[in-house]
Every structure is written in C-alpha cells, then in structure tokens.
Amino acid sequence: MSCSLQEKERKGIINPIFTCQPAGAQFVGIGIKDCIPLVHGGQGCCMFVRLLFAQHFNENFDIASSSVHESTAVFGGLSQAEEAVITMIGRYPHLRILPIITTCSTETIGDDVDGLVLKLEKRIKKEFPDREVILVPVHTPSYTGSQISGYDNAINDIVTKVAKKGKKNNKINVFTGWVNPGDVKEVKHIFEEMQIEGNFLMDTESFDAPTMPGKDSFAHGSTTVEDLEDSANAKASVVLCKYEGGKAAKTLETKFKVPAVIDSMPIGIKNTDKFLMNLTKLTDRKVPESLAIERGKAIDAIADLAHMFFADKKVAIYGDPDLVLALAEFCIECEMKPVLLLLGDDNKGYAKDTRIEELKNKVDFDMEIITNADLWDLESRIKNKEVELDLIMGHSKGRYVAIDNEIPMVRVGFPTFDRAGLYRNPVIGYNGAIYLAETIANALFSHMEYKHEREWVLNVW
C-alpha cells in the first residue's frame, strides 16, 4: 500500500482541468467593490472568462479588455491599454481601483505595464484632479502557471500596492481563495458565533446577488479599498486556500508583522476543528456551544452514512489543489478511499506540501497524486481499467467522463454549471461536511436505483 506523488508522464494537455492565470486574476478583481479589472490582451482573454463566471454564478460581472489585435504584435499594445484606462475612468465615476492584468500576448511582446502605470498616474492627476484611482499592474502570462497561481499573484500584487500601515485593529484577515459565496457565508457564520471581527479578502458572498427594483444586473464583490488598506493593521491573517492567498498573507507578515496562519482548507471534521483551534489561539475566544452542536450534527450525519454506504468506496478527485487535498481527507474520514487525486498544474511546491506528506503516512491503500494532470489522465485510467471507481468528485468540465463510464459524480469546485445553485451551498465547516456527506450519499443512491444495484437497501436503511 502506498501513496505516490508524480507528474503526468505524457506531454501536452488533453481536456485541461484548469484555465490560465488571467482567469484567477480576474476572479480577484471582481471580488473588490468599485473595481473593474482590465485585461490587457485579446478580447477572448476577457470574454471566455466572463462566460465561465456567468455559467458558474448565473450573474454578470464587469470586466474590461484592451482588445489588442494582430498589429499589437508589431507595434505593442500600451497605447490601447492607456486609452482603455482613461476611457474607463471617464465613464465610471465609482471606479476606485483598476488592476491591469497581462496575458500571454502582451507579456510575450514585452509591454511595460509597470511603466504605463507610472505614466497613467501622472496623467490621471492632471486630467481627473478630483479622482483617486489606484492602478495595479498584475503580471499573469498565460503560458505558465494556471488560474490558481494567477489568483495568488493578483491578490499579492493588490495587497502589496494598497495595504497601508495605520492604527492597529482587532480584526482577522481572511484570505478566502477561490471558494463559493456559500463558503464565505459559512466562514462569516463561524466568526459571528465566535464573536470575531473578520476582514474578508475577497468577500464574494455578494456574488449571490438579489434581483431588486431599480438595481442593475451586474454582481460585484464586497471587499472595499479600505478593507485592503486596513489588512496591514490586522491582528493576524488566516488563509483558507494555501495556493490562493498564501503569498499575500506572507507579504503582510514580512512587511507589516501581521502573523499568517496557513493550514488545510477547513473541509470535514478534523480540518474544521483545526481552523477553530487556530482562531482560538489568535483571539483567545472560546468555541461556543452552538458550533459544538453543529459539529455533533455533522458527525451524526456522517455516521448515519459512512459504514453502510461509504465504506471502501473508491474515489477520484480533481481540481483546485487545496480543495482536492481537503476533500481527500474528508473522504478518509467517511471511510472512503480517494485512490486518484489530479492536480491540474505543475507547481513545484506540491512536493513539499505537508498535507501530501500526511497522506503518504496515513493511507493504507494505493493512492496516486498526479501533478500537471488533465482529464484525459482520469478518462484513460478508467478505460484501461487501471483504476476502478465508485465516485468522481470535481467540476463540471469532467461530467462526460462520469456519464460515458456510468460512474456517479459529485460536482464541486469551479466551474459547476450543470447543476442548479451549487455556489450557494458551503463545503467548508461543519455545515459543509453535512452537505458533502448527504450529496455524496444521494449521488450513490441515484446510481443504485438506475443500475438496480442493491436499491432495495434504500427501503430499509
């Protein structure tokens, strides 16, 4: 029995798990109030990412493009980026912060976006003397990294530019990472129960936007410029996703002496316990009875299902590395066997990730963890009978692997667009553990019914 970490042997990508770095940077941008990210590249670099956001959240988001074309490869595109910034400031009086996000084309031709920002800051003072708009250059070439590193780089660039030393506060910075509005709401609930004041970076709960009379149809995040500035004065930072916010938390620790706690994503009983213990150490707050009751309900929900339905079920999980590793630990808690973990980029940090080391020491079955993986790694292993699976967990891009091979699937991660309202449901915390356990069970139950495999059990359990 072993747990191995290895890179995909095959060259090239077939059906990628992730999209590119600018997507992650755009997700950060739309999480900020009074912000419109500007993608310095072709229109597709903006349009297709907006489409993913619209599919996942069923909302529209303001994202702009400098719309470079073939001539840019010869003459450069800085003039178009400059024109875009000036046009946006003139058109949107509410605009306070504007990340300029590079792409593969503009990085390859060597557009000096940092120099452009210095030039534009002088021009804005002259042409818009009553406006203060923060420009942040964000370097996210698409030919390296992924949406994960793009998110991490963007939030670090923004925090580095905006955070300001001031009066110390009693808040805890929460770097949420690429999670759903339901997860942000759940973490806020935990903070409210423990009477802790949080500074959420980024606060995307408002992505679940109501339709109200007299309001426009564009959603936006709730993190303000003041929240970003005040992050330098927090009591500490906690990071939900190590690879999506960890760099920014470390920057605040180095530059402003704000302690950073970077641990496992709080999915499942053990990891949520660790999250609460970290909060108690940082704030001297005790875990209230209300959260202990939620924990007991989560344990009860898992106990109702684990031995009878989950035990020894073999699972493949793909997607965001923080999510995949936390889901694997949750599956083990539920007596399942996560035999295949697919991480969609080639981050060299995975080899030193303590969570992977813990899995290597813990598992008593064969587990493969593949880096730089794609969905063909999943499909080919199933077709070649290299792995037998009872369940697949991942985002909607892998749905046809599950459908074609008649394997039940639980949609989790980004993007999920073939099931309604998943972004509202948390996977984080004790309530998230209940949701996950029951969603997994219902997927297995439906499969039992359709395949007529022991479906009689459902009459008596």
Shared domain check, 352 and 296:
yes
Residue 73 has pLDDT above 90, yes or no: no
Token digits of residue 146: 């992924």
pLDDT band at 454 (very low <50, low <70, confident <90, very high): confident
Distances (CA, A) of 348 to 17, 154, 267: 17, 19, 24
Shared domain check, 198 and 83:
no
Shared domain check, 319 and 348:
yes
The count of domains in the chain is 3
Shared domain check, 125 and 40:
yes
**Residue 390 within any structural domain of the chain:** yes
Choosing from 241, 273, 288, the residue where a domain stops is 288
Least confident piece of the model among 19-23, 208-212, 279-283: 208-212
**Residue 367 within any structural domain of the chain:** yes
Shared domain check, 294 and 245:
no
Shared domain check, 425 and 375:
yes
Choosing from 288, 322, 337, the residue where a domain stops is 288
Q: Name the percent of the chain lying above pLDDT 90.
A: 89
pLDDT (average), residues 58-78: 88
Which of 124-129's residues contact partners 24+ apart within 8 Å by CB, and which partners? Answer: 124/86, 124/89, 127/86, 128/89, 128/90
What's residue 215's pLDDT? 64
**Residue 158 within any structural domain of the chain:** no
The b-or-e profile of 281-308 (16+ CB within 10 A means b, else e) is ebbeeebeeebeebbeebbebbeebbee
What's residue 396's pLDDT? 97
Residue 128 has pLDDT above 70, yes or no: yes
Residues 35-44: tens digit of each pLDDT: 999 999 999 9
Closest CA to 390 of 435, 458, 444, 433: 444
What's residue 461's pLDDT? 65
Shared domain check, 277 and 304:
no
Q: Name the percent of the chain lying above pLDDT 70.
A: 99
CB atoms within 10 A of CB 427: 27
**Residue 356 within any structural domain of the chain:** yes
**Residue 162 within any structural domain of the chain:** no
Answer whether 415's CB lies under 8 Å from 54's CB.
Answer: no
Residues 345-400: tens digit of each pLDDT: 989 999 999 999 999 988 999 999 999 999 999 999 999 999 999 999 999 999 99
Shared domain check, 194 and 248:
yes
Residue 331 has pLDDT above 90, yes or no: yes
**Residue 360 within any structural domain of the chain:** yes
**Residue 62 within any structural domain of the chain:** yes
Residue 425 has pLDDT above 80, yes or no: yes
Residue with tokens 């402003």: 256
CATH code, 327 = 3.40.50.1980
Choosing from 243, 262, 288, the residue where a domain stops is 288
Domain residues for 305? 3-13+290-459
Closest CA to 206 of 231, 178, 180: 180
**Residue 307 within any structural domain of the chain:** yes
The β-bridge partners of 134 are: 97
Shared domain check, 56 and 132:
yes
Shared domain check, 341 and 328:
yes
What's residue 452's pLDDT? 85
Closest CA to 40 of 75, 69, 71, 74: 69
Residues 184-221: tens digit of each pLDDT: 999 999 999 999 999 999 999 999 988 888 766 678 89
Shared domain check, 210 and 70:
no
Shared domain check, 226 and 369:
no
